[in-house]
Amino acid sequence: MNKYISTLKLALISMLLLASCAPKAKQIDQVKTQPTDQNGVLTVSLVYPIASTEIEMGKSFKGIIKVLDEQGKIIKDAQVSVSVSDPSGKVMANIPATFGSGDVYRNESWIIPHKMQAGVWNMTVEAKTETKHGTASGDFRVNGSLSEILLGKYGFWINSPALRGIVPNLVKEQGNAENGMIIWGGQLPAQHVFPESWLEVQWRQGDFKLKTAEDVHDFMLGQLG
């Protein structure tokens, strides 16, 4: 009889142990099969351009972007794309950016076209990996170049002259769209020598009947001087 009771107690204890272990085993199974996070967030920061940046039309620029994960670790293998929009919201360029020196991404050099709308432009960046995604957006200012200014004043277009490395300035300007002149140029100090280059443009209204080289010569010296 005692042997039977002992056997019964042992069976009850075994059943209790199995019952107490069952929920834990089920919980462990749930942790193992829990899916990984597929919607992680990347922190995207615009290093350049920023709100105080001013770029002239006709000039090129490269955006500089930093991409971090939730722990602030630099992400080196993200797919990063840059979108540039004018003040009206029209997208002017979509450019990929690649990871490089300084632990940042840079887009390929892009030239802001001439004869565009000046004002506040926008750069929007999207970065993504297989499991994470992030965006950032920032404004910068685009100004008309001197070529745009002259076009608005006088109605003609002239590209900024390349003057042996000199950044040209408009040093003289007079007249109007019918009769006037500009002098465009500058100096480049180097080893006590001052290389200089100047571009002078004059214009007059009317038909001066310049049919021969001699007519042009006389007009240039006699009328424009």
The conformation of residue 74, written as its DSSP 8-state character, comes to B
Strand partners, 219: none
Distance CA(113)–CA(59), nearest Å, equals 8
**pLDDT tens, residue by residue, 120-130:** 999 999 999 99
**Whether the model pTM is above 0.85:** no
**pLDDT tens, residue by residue, 2-54:** 444 455 454 544 554 444 554 443 332 333 333 333 457 999 999 999 999 99
The CA-to-CA distance between both ends of the chain, in Å, stands at: 137
User: Residue 62 to residues 84, 90, 99, 136, 220: CA-CA distances in angstroms?
Assistant: 11, 19, 13, 16, 44
